[in-house]
Amino acid sequence: MNDESRQDALDTSGRRLDQIRLSGITAFGYHGVFEHERREGQTFVADVVVHLDTRRAAARDDLAHTLNYGELAEQVAAVLAGEPVDLIETVAERIAATVLASGIVQAVDVAVHKPNAPIQVPFDDVVVAIHRDRTKLPAAEPYVPRAAVGTEPVSRPVPTATASFPVTPAPGAPVVPSGAPGVASAAWADAVAPAPGAFSQGPDGPSAELEAVPAGEALVVGEVVTDVLDQAPDGPVEVVLALGANLGPAQETLRAAVTDLARTPGIEVRDVSALARTSAVGGPEQSDYLNAVVLASTTLAPRALLRATQAIEHAHGRERHEHWGPRTLDIDIVLYGSVLAVTDDLELPHPRAHERAFVLQPWAQVDPDAMLPGLGGGPVGALAATAPDRDGVRWLALDWLTTAIPAVSGDTGAVPAGPEAQNT
């Protein structure tokens, strides 16, 4: 990759980031739009420039704080030699997504060369060069090594049908401030009544709720971690949780659920969004939902957080008799730091969050600068403005933790009077 195609990337203070460059990674692949390209294959070459801050790694002389470029080179080669696609643009996006899956990486330049492209005039090379960063995410998923069909993985057992690709939170990523514009974190214990029981994620998704993946068995045996989603983070990780209910005293249930979350060891509630009243999306005919988003930090592993949210759901009578049916409480993990993962029981970020206004609008209200990573992601406010169900969000109640709002059941359109109501 020459200097003309490479872009400098800046950190949050406007200073130029350091670079790790890998040039001339070569592999034989089967990408192309012509049948003979898919049949006979050809050589592909990739150049990668990774933008990151290498000072911590250098100060400690520790590989754990930088990028393992040997492993990265193997992953890039695996993408070049991997699943055939028509366009080298797609190959470039996959490589960029794989690099950005490492939370320490802030940006990446990728150039994919196709020197043997089927062009009928003399030429030296065909190159697709892209730049991707945390604000312009790749239009592809990261490379995930998969076991060969009918064989066991070489490195370790894969406990779920699909593998997961861990990503740690990006250094210097903004921490959600406690307080405005939502509810200050110190307010819950006094302002919200405790739950009538005690504790937990309702994955079968909804109406004014997200459809999540069916819960699977725990994958921790004794002290042995068998999956990256069972591994506790080194420090607190920022998470986004979506709450919804439309059975029983929904507002009281959501208040109690916020309290339960705040009292769960390993979870610190940072902020709570306005309460959205939303029409049911899909499923049987049912009452409107009340929905809210909780910003929190956690020292729990992703799957341990899932178990904790499921316990809170269970304590509030959550049952899963009808797919997308009404429910007393649903808590979905929308975001866990910068983790990108797909497993049988948990997918991060939530695969449908980018198209659900009942999550996006409250989230944008409490964190106007929020970004949803992954395929289909982007600025949360912009996603909320274009979400297919945006017209179903009837209003937002700002101080719902301390002020009663009209009941949901049997009432589909009343807007509360007073300053607590914000029409949308």
Residues paired with 276 in a beta bridge: 291, 396
Cα 300 from Cα 278, distance rounded (Å): 31
Q: How many CB atoms lie within 10 A of CB 150?
A: 5
Query: Residue 136 catalytic?
Result: no
Q: Annotated catalytic residue: which of 94, 114, 352, 356?
A: 114
Q: What is the dihedral of CA 229, 160, 329, 379, to 10 degrees?
A: 60
Cα 30 from Cα 130, distance rounded (Å): 21
Cα 50 from Cα 43, distance rounded (Å): 23
Nearest C-alpha neighbor of 329 from the set 193, 184, 205, 183 = 205
Contacts of 219 (CB under 8 A, 6+ apart): 159, 160, 226, 227, 229, 230, 303
Token look-up 């405790």 returns: 194
Separation of CA 315 from chain center: 26
Cα 275 from Cα 272, distance rounded (Å): 9
Looking at residue 98, what DSSP letter applies?
H
Cα 24 from Cα 45, distance rounded (Å): 6
Greatest CA separation found in the chain? Answer: 76
Distance linking the first and last C-alpha atoms of the chain: 48
Token look-up 């959550």 returns: 318
Cα 171 from Cα 293, distance rounded (Å): 24
Cα 397 from Cα 87, distance rounded (Å): 47
User: E strands of 157-199, at which residues?
Assistant: 164-165
Give ∠ CA 291-294-295 in degrees, rounded to 5.
150
Looking at residue 331, what DSSP letter applies?
E
Cα 188 from Cα 294, distance rounded (Å): 12
Separation of CA 168 from chain center: 12
Q: Which residues are known to be catalytic?
A: 114
